[in-house]
C-alpha cells in the first residue's frame, strides 16, 4: 500500500490542496465596514508595545471594528508553548504568528501584534507571508535605559543577574526597523498621543473611516 503513495518533498505534503472559501476576504471586509490588516508592533521589552496595542484595540472596538490582539506572552502560553528563546526558536515563534495573522486578515479582521521580534529578517519574513500591502510595521522606540527603569516584570534585573539568557537589549541584540510605517516615541509621548498617531495612520490609508460604527 505504501508503494502507491508518492513520497512528498521535504517540508511539503503533496496530498494537501488549498481549499478556496466561498466567502471572500472582500465580502468580509464589506460586512465589517473596514479593511483588514496586521499592525505589527515591535520594540524592546518594556517599550510599551502591549499597552499601546491594547489601547488601540479598545479604541477600534468602540468604533465597531473587528479586531484581535496577539500578545507575545499569551501566544507563548499556547500556540508557541513548546518554544524557548534561542535564535531558531524565536524565528519559529514569529513564523507561526505570521501564518496565524494571515488567516485573520483573510477573515476580515484587524490583527494587532505585540512582539519584541528583534530581528529584521524575521519581521521581513512575516511581511512576505502576509503581503507588503497588508503589513504595517510600527516601531515603539524607547531606549534600553528607559525600558530598564520601567521593567514591570523584573526581566531586565534578572537578565543583568544572569537569570535570563538571550534577553533582548542586554544579552541579545535588537535590530531597529530600517523603514517602519510609523515610529512611536514611547519614552516621551503618552499612550493616548501614540494611539492618536496610529488612528490617524489608519484613517489616512483608508483602513478605517473616522467614527465608523
So where are the chain's domains?
24-204
pLDDT bin (cut points 50, 70, 90) of residue 43 is very high
Please list the active-site residues: 117
Question: What is the largest distance, in Å, between two alpha-carbon atoms of the chain?
Answer: 67
Place of cell 507563548: 76
User: Is residue 132 scored above 60 in pLDDT?
Assistant: yes
Q: What is the pLDDT of residue 89?
A: 87
C-alpha to C-alpha distance for 27 and 57, rounded to whole angstroms: 22
pLDDT bin (cut points 50, 70, 90) of residue 20 is confident
pTM of the model: 0.86
Q: What is the pLDDT of residue 213?
A: 62
Instruction: Name which of 177, 150, 178, 153 is nearest 163 in CA terms.
Output: 153
pLDDT bin (cut points 50, 70, 90) of residue 12 is low
Q: Does residue 122 contact residue 178 with C-beta atoms inside 8 Å?
A: no
CATH 3.30.1490.20 fits 24-204, yes or no: no
Q: What is the pLDDT of residue 7?
A: 40
- Please state the rounded mean pLDDT for residues 128-134: 95
Amino acid at each position: 500500500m505504501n508503494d502507491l503513495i508518492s513520497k512528498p518533498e521535504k517540508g511539503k505534503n503533496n496530498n494537501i490542496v488549498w481549499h478556496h472559501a466561498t466567502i471572500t476576504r472582500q465580502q468580509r471586509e464589506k460586512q465589517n465596514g473596514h479593511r483588514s490588516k496586521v499592525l505589527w508592533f515591535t520594540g524592546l521589552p518594556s517599550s510599551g508595545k502591549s499597552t499601546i496595542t491594547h489601547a488601540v484595540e479598545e479604541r477600534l472596538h468602540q468604533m465597531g471594528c473587528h479586531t484581535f490582539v496577539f500578545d507575545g506572552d499569551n501566544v507563548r502560553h499556547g500556540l508557541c508553548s513548546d518554544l524557548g528563546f534561542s535564535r531558531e526558536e524565536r524565528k519559529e515563534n514569529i513564523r507561526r504568528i505570521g501564518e496565524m495573522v494571515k488567516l485573520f486578515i483573510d477573515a476580515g479582521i484587524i490583527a494587532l501584534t505585540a512582539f519584541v521580534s528583534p530581528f529584521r529578517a524575521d519581521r521581513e519574513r512575516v511581511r512576505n507571508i502576509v503581503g507588503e500591502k497588508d503589513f504595517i510595521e510600527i516601531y515603539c522606540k524607547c531606549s534600553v535605559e528607559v525600558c530598564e527603569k520601567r521593567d514591570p516584570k523584573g526581566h531586565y534585573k534578572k537578565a543583568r543577574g544572569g537569570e535570563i539568557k538571550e534577553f533582548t537589549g542586554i544579552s541579545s541584540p535588537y535590530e531597529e526597523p530600517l523603514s517602519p510605517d510609523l515610529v512611536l516615541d514611547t519614552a516621551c509621548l503618552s499612550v493616548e498621543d501614540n494611539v492618536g498617531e496610529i488612528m490617524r495612520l489608519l484613517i489616512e490609508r483608508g483602513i478605517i473611516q473616522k467614527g465608523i460604527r
